[in-house]
Amino acid sequence: ISAADSAVVKATILDGDGVEVEGAVVNFSSTLGNLIPSIGTALTNGSGVASINLTSGTVEGAGVITAQYEGVEQTLGFYTKGDAVNPDQSTADISFSILQNCPADFKSQRDASQCDTVTSI
């Protein structure tokens, strides 16, 4: 799992007769990465499937995701690059340029090398 390639984790809930259970709340938890929604719960659909998104988080390594329903758990291992942007980061490097004298087709081409960069305002 990486910032560019998150995962959708699915759990299928069946009753004792093997019939899909609709509207069941499945609890997901993970040792690494981030779950979306962060509360970690999802409802099963008409096919008995509950889905949740798993993103990379900010710590690299091997993790375990768990799906739990009425005391029954199933786990799955995964690897995350941990390359998500940390929202609590105290600093960020941002750079930008103001361009002028761009060609008429700049909006479609987006080639900044064909424009002049403003050096002072």
Per residue in 86-114, pLDDT (tens digit) is 666 666 677 777 888 889 888 888 888 88
Domain ranges in the chain?
A: 7-80
Residue 75, C-beta contacts closer than 8 angstroms, at least 6 positions apart: 64, 65, 66, 67
Per residue in 51-98, pLDDT (tens digit) is 999 999 999 999 999 999 999 999 999 999 999 876 666 666 777 778
Structure tokens at 24: 């069941």
Give the model's pLDDT for residue 24.
97
Q: Is the model's pTM score more than 0.85?
A: no
The pair phi, psi for residue 86, each rounded to 5°, is: -80, 115
Give the model's pLDDT for residue 119.
79
Cα 112 vs. chain centroid, distance in angstroms?
31
Give the model's pLDDT for residue 111.
86
- Alpha carbon distance 83, 75 (integer Å): 23
Top-level CATH class of 7-80? mainly beta
- Alpha carbon distance 79, 81 (integer Å): 7
